Structure 1
Amino acid sequence: MATICQYDDEKKVAVVSSEPLDADVPAYDNASSIDTITALVQEDHQHDIKLRTMSWQKAAWLLAGDQVCLAIMAQTWSLSVLGWVPGILTMLFAGILFYITSITMHKFIMKYPQIKDICDFGYYAFGKSRIAYHFTAFMLLANNILLIGFHVLTGAKVLNTLSDHSACTVVFSIIAMLMGIVMSLPRTLKHVSFMSMFSAAAMAIAILLFLVFSGIEAAPYYGYNGNYPELGAVKTYAFPPAGTTWVACMNAILNITFLWVPQILFPTFIAEMEKPQDFPKALAVLTGVSAFLFIVPPAIGFVYLGQYSTAPAFGSLGVVAYKKASFAFVIVPTLVIGVIYANVSAKFVYSRIMGSSRHAHSHTVIGWGAWAGVMAGIWLLAFVFAEVIPSMGDFLSLLGAAFDSFFGFIFFAVAYYHLYKGKYFSGAGRSVMTIVHILVMFVGLFLLGPGLYAAVKAIMADYTGGVRPAFSCKNLSL
C-alpha cells in the first residue's frame, strides 16, 4: 500500500507508515487537518528530492497542460453528429459536473490529507477496502499506460503527416517513445508543470491556426461520409441529421464527456502541492480555460466544416499546407501529456518498489536507476500496446466507459456520501448538492452500462472493415 505520513499529536512529528491510516482524520474545517498537512510537508522537505513544492499557480499550469490537448479538436466531430442543441448542452452539463465532482474530491482529500493518488482515494472512499485499492491500481495503470500508448501513436501520426510518410510508422513511434522517456526523467510535478506551460501554448497556437485556416480556405476537403462537395454545401444543424444511429450519438457524447474526466490525476497533483487547500484556485482557472476551449473553437470549427468534420478536425482542412502548419504544433502537447500520465503512473510503481527506503527520496544511483527503469518500462509497454491494438481510439473509448465512469463520477458520488452522511438535506443548498450527486452516480452507471455497450459496438464496426496489423508501417497521416 502507499507509503504515507501519520501525524503524531503527542510528539508533533510526522511518522512514516507503509499502510493507509486506520484512524479517521478529522474534517478539513478542523485545525487537525491543517496540522496533518503541515506535518506532511515538513516530512517531505527533509528529503533530498522534495515533492510537495507546487504552488497553486504551478498546479494550474499543470492542469492546463493536461487538459489543453488534441481531444479538443475532436469536439467539432461530436457537434457534427449531435447538432448544436444536444452538443452544446452536453458540453455545458459535463463541465458543470466536472467542477462539482472535483470540488467534492478535494474536500474528501482534505479530510484524508495523506491520500497520495487515486488508489488511496479509492481505498478510503470504499470503506478502507484493500480490494478497492488494488482494483483502482489496476484501472490507474491500465488507463494511463494505454493513454500514453495513444500519445505515442499520435506522435507517429504527426511525424507521418509532416514528413509525407518518409519512414515506417513504427520508426516514428519509436522516436516518439524515446523523446517521451527523456522528457519524463524529472521526478517532481513542479518541473513537469514548467513543460506544461509550453504544451498549453503550443496547443493554443495549433487551435488558432486551425480556426484561421478553416475560415480562409474555400471549402473543407475530407469527411467520413464523403469528400467535399459530395455531401453538399457545408451546413450546420440544431439536432442530429436523419439516419444518425444511437451508437453514433452515444459515442459523440462519450467523446465530449471523457474530455472532462481528468480527475484520475488530481489526487497526485494535490499531494505535490505545498498548500493542498489552495487547489480550488487552480481548479477555477482550469474550469474557465476548459469551458472556453472545449466549446468555442469546436463551435467555430463546426460552422466552417459542418458535416465534413473529422476527429481531429485538422483532417478536414482542404489545403495540405494548412493541415501541416496547424497540426505540427500538436507534437508538443502530445509528448507533454504523455509525460504527465507517465509521471503519475511511475510514482505509483516506484513507491511500491522503494517503499520508505532512503532511495525513494534521495539522489542515489539505485534511486535514479530504478526511476529511469520504471519510466522506460512504462513507455515501452505503452509503445507495444500502441502497435498491437488495431483500433486504439475505439479501445480508449472502451476503457473510458469502463474506467472514467468510476474516476469521473462514481468515486465522487461515494465520497459525497461519506462527507455528508446524516446531513444530506440539512438545508436548501445541501439538498441541491445531494440531488446533483445522486445524478452524478446515475451518469457514472449510465456510462458503465449503455456507454460501454456503444464503445463495444464501435469496435465491432471497425473490425468488420479490416484492421491495422501489429507493428505496421502503414501511413497514418491525416
Structure 2
Amino acid sequence: MNVGTLMLAENVSLGVLVLPQALAILGLIPGLLCICFLGIITTYTGHMVGELKLAHPSVACYADCGMLISGPFGREVLAVGQELVLAFVMDVHILTLGVAMNAMTDYGACTIIFSVVGLTISFLLGLPKTFKNISHFSYFFTITMIAISIQKPDMGNIVAVRPNVPLVKGLAPVMDIFLAYTGHVAFFSFQSELKDTRDFRKALIFEQGIAVTLYKLISVIIYYYTETFCGLARPQFRVPTG
C-alpha cells in the first residue's frame, strides 16, 4: 500500500496541471481519449518493467537495462538519460515552487530565494536511502493534488471536439499528457524496496487505476470551471495578471 501510494504521488505530480490545457487545445472528447489510451499504454509498459525486474533481480535502474542490452556503452547512455530526466523533473518542480510562492506572497521575495528553499527541501527529502519513511509524505501530496480539483471559480465554455487543430499544435498537448505518465523512471527503485517484488503488480494496478481516474476528473473539472485560464506555462499554471 505504501509503495502504491508513493508511486501515485510520484506519478501524479506536476504533470497533472498541463492536462486542462490539453483538453482546451484538443477538445474534451479527444483529450479524454488520449488520457485513457496513454494510461493503458503506460500500464502495460509499467507491467513490462516489473516483469523485467522479476526476470533479472539485479536490475535496479535503467542503466542496468542498458548493460543487458548493449554492455557498458548501453549502461552509460541510459544512465545519462535517466539522470537528465530526473534532473529536469526536479528542476521544473523547483521552478514551479518559486513561481507559486511569488504568486501567493505577491512577490514578497526574490524567485531565486524561493527556488533555493525548494532545492533545500528536495535535497533533504532525497537523503534517505529507502522510501519507507518518505512514503508517509505521499498521502499529504496526494490530498493536495485532489484539493486542486475542488476549487469552484466561474464556469468556462467547453468544446467537445475542437476542429482544424494544426498538427504541431495538436501534438504538443499529447506530449504534455505523456509528461503526466513519466513515473516509470523510478519504478525499478520502487520495486526494489518491496519485500516481495511480485507485489509490484498490485502496486502498479493501484497506482495506474487511481492516476487515470484523477487525471480525467481533475482535467475535466479544471477545464470546465477555468477554461479561460487554461493557457498554461508548461508545465505550471500561468498566473493571470488581469
Q: Which TM-score applies when normalising by structure 2?
A: 0.91
- Asked if structure 2 preserves the Cα contact closer than 8 Å seen for 1:110 and 1:277, the reply is yes
Does the C-alpha gap of structure 1 residues 203 and 306 become closer, same or farther in structure 2, counting only changes over 3 Å? closer
1:179 aligns with: 121
2:9 aligns with: 65
**How many residue pairs are counted as aligned between the two chains?**
241
Query: Which protein has the larger Cα radius of gyration, Structure 1 or Structure 2?
Result: 1
Deviation at 1:252, TM superposition (A): 0.6
Does the C-alpha gap of structure 1 residues 314 and 100 become closer, same or farther in structure 2, counting only changes over 3 Å? closer
The structure 1 residue matched to 2:106, chosen from 149, 164, 167, is 164
Does the C-alpha gap of structure 1 residues 108 and 275 become closer, same or farther in structure 2, counting only changes over 3 Å? same
Deviation at 1:88, TM superposition (A): 1.4
Aligned equivalents of 2:157, 2:223: Cα separation in 1: 9
1:238 aligns with: 160
Aligned equivalents of 1:79, 1:277: Cα separation in 2: 36
Aligned equivalents of 2:181, 2:125: Cα separation in 1: 25
1:120 aligns with: 64
Identify which of structures 1 and 2 has the higher relative contact order when contacts are C-alpha pairs closer than 8 Å and 6+ apart. Answer: 2
Amino acid at match of 2:207: L
Q: How does 1:259-278 map to 2 (within 5 A)?
A: 259-278=180-199
Deviation at 1:316, TM superposition (A): 7.7
2:214 aligns with: 293
1:456 aligns with: none
Instruction: Confirm whether residue 107 of structure 1 aligns to residue 51 of structure 2.
Output: yes
The structure 2 residue matched to 1:91, chosen from 26, 35, 48, is 35
Aligned equivalents of 1:282, 1:67: Cα separation in 2: 13
Deviation at 1:184, TM superposition (A): 2.3
Does the C-alpha gap of structure 1 residues 81 and 173 become closer, same or farther in structure 2, counting only changes over 3 Å? same
Amino acid at match of 1:192: I
2:71 aligns with: 129
Partner deviation per Cα, 1:354-411 (whole Å, 9 max, x = no partner): xxxxxxxxxxxxxxxxxxxxxxxxxxxxxxxxxxxxxxxxxxxxxxxxxxxxxxxxxx
Does the C-alpha gap of structure 1 residues 274 and 129 become closer, same or farther in structure 2, counting only changes over 3 Å? same
Partner of 1:263, secondary structure, is helix
1:255 aligns with: 176
- Asked if structure 2 preserves the Cα contact closer than 8 Å seen for 1:117 and 1:271, the reply is no
- Asked if structure 2 preserves the Cα contact closer than 8 Å seen for 1:75 and 1:311, the reply is no
- Asked if structure 1 preserves the Cα contact closer than 8 Å seen for 2:11 and 2:182, the reply is no
Deviation at 1:288, TM superposition (A): 1.2
Partner deviation per Cα, 1:114-150 (whole Å, 9 max, x = no partner): 11112112322x2x52211110000011111121111
- Asked if structure 2 preserves the Cα contact closer than 8 Å seen for 1:81 and 1:252, the reply is yes
- Asked if structure 1 preserves the Cα contact closer than 8 Å seen for 2:98 and 2:111, the reply is yes
Deviation at 1:66, TM superposition (A): 0.4
Deviation at 1:308, TM superposition (A): 4.2
Q: How does 1:266-345 map to 2 (within 5 A)?
A: 266-306=187-227, 308-311=229-232, 315=237
Deviation at 1:247, TM superposition (A): 1.5
- Asked if structure 2 preserves the Cα contact closer than 8 Å seen for 1:109 and 1:121, the reply is no
Amino acid at match of 1:92: C
- Asked if structure 2 preserves the Cα contact closer than 8 Å seen for 1:155 and 1:173, the reply is yes
Aligned equivalents of 2:207, 2:173: Cα separation in 1: 23
Does the C-alpha gap of structure 1 residues 277 and 315 become closer, same or farther in structure 2, counting only changes over 3 Å? closer
Partner of 1:194, secondary structure, is helix
Structure 1 alignment gaps of length 5 or more: 1-56, 220-233, 319-476
Partner of 1:191, secondary structure, is coil
Structure 2 alignment gaps of length 5 or more: none
Does the C-alpha gap of structure 1 residues 102 and 262 become closer, same or farther in structure 2, counting only changes over 3 Å? same
